[in-house]
Amino acid sequence: MIRQAVVMVMLAAAGAVTASESDGPMPVENDDAAARAAQQATQALAQQLDVAAETLKIESTQPHTWSDSSMGCGTPGTMAMQVITDGYIVTLSAADRRYRVHVSGSTAIVCSKPLLQREAKRPMTNARGLDLMIAKARTDLIQRVGADPEKIRLLGTQPQRWDDNGLGCPRTDEEIRAQPVNGYRLTFSYRSRVYTYHTDMNDVRACPPIEKD
C-alpha cells in the first residue's frame, strides 16, 4: 500500500513537470534584447520629434554590427573609435515618414533623415540574388574558420565595380579578362575579426584570402 502511494506521488510530480514544460518555450534572451532596443529607439525618436511614444509604430528590429563606435551614424569631421559594436537597427514610422534608430547598449541614435513612405518601400534591385551571395559567403566563412553561424554578423554590403573578372582578388591560375564587372563588397564580423568577400552576383570569393589563425 505504501509502495503504491509512493508511485502515485511520483507520477503526480512527473505530471506537474510535464504541465509546466507544456506551457511553452522559455523567453529567448535575444528576443528580450530586441524588445529593449525597440523601446529605447521609440523613446529616443519620441523625444527628438517631441511627440508621444504611443504615436510611433515599430516596423522592424534587426540585429546589426558596426565597425566603429559611430554605429553607422557618423558625420564628416567627427572621430569614432575603431571597435566592433553590436546592436540593433530599429525602423519606426510616424505619420507618413519613416525613421531609422541605431541602438547599442544604453545608446540610441536617430540616424537617418525621414523618408517618405513611398520612397522607403521602393524594392531593392537584385535583392534576391544578393541574399543568395550573402548566404554563399557565410557558408564559405563557416567552412574556412569553423565559425558558429549564429555569431556571424553582416556589417554591410556596398556596390562595387572592378576592372576585370578577378574581382580584385584573382585566384591562382585564373584567366583574367579585362572588362568592367559590377558587383558587391560584403563585410562580415566574427569574434572581433572582419572578413570581406567580393561577388559579381555569380561568384563569391574572400578578399583578401582568409588564412587560418
Mind listing the pLDDT tens digit for each residue in 63-100? Answer: 887 766 777 776 655 666 666 778 888 888 887 788 88
- Determine how β-strand 97-104 pairs with β-strand 153-164: unpaired
Mean pLDDT of the chain: 77
Compute the distance between CA of residue 210 and CA of residue 197 in angstroms, rounded to an integer.
Answer: 10
Which residues neighbour 67 within 8 Å (Cβ) at sequence distance 6 or greater?
Answer: 82, 84, 85, 155, 187, 189, 194
Residue 48 has pLDDT above 50, yes or no: yes
Percent of the chain with pLDDT over 70: 71
Written as nine digits, the cell of 87 is 546592436
Spatial contact of 48 and 114, defined as CB atoms under 8 Å apart: no
- What is the reported pLDDT for 77? 55
3-state secondary structure 56-76: CEEEEEEEEEECCCCCCCCCC
Q: How many CA atoms lie within 13 A of 33 on its CB side?
A: 14
Strand partners, 186: 157, 197
pTM of the model: 0.45
Under DSSP, the state recorded for 171 is P
**pLDDT band at residue 122, thresholds of 50, 70 and 90?**
very low
**pLDDT band at residue 32, thresholds of 50, 70 and 90?**
confident
73 burial via Cβ count (<10 Å: 0-12, 13-18, 19+): middle
- What is the reported pLDDT for 79? 65
pLDDT tens readout for residues 159-213: 889 999 999 999 988 999 999 999 999 999 998 889 999 999 999 999 999 876 5
For 136, 155, 157, 167, 173, the CA distances from 162, given in Å and listed in that order, are: 20, 21, 15, 6, 19
Lowest mean pLDDT across 9-13, 57-61, 84-88, 190-194:
9-13
